[in-house]
Structure 1
Amino acid sequence: MTEIAPSTAADARDRIERGALLIDVRSDAGREANGAIEGATVVAKADVAAFAETLDKDREVVIFCGTTAGSGPVADYLDEHGFKAVSHVDGGFEALRDATGS
Structure 2
Amino acid sequence: MEKLKKRWGIESNFQIVVIFIVFGVTGSCAAKLAAPAADLIGLDKEQLSGWIYWPIRILLIFPIYQVLLVFFGWLFGQFQFFWNFEKKMLKRMGLGFLFN
Q: TM-score range by the shorter chain?
A: under 0.3
Compare CA radii of gyration and give the structure with the larger one: 2
Per residue, is there more strand in 1 or in 2?
1
Q: Which has the higher contact order (CA 8 A, sep 6+)?
A: 1
- TM-score, normalised to structure 1, is 0.25
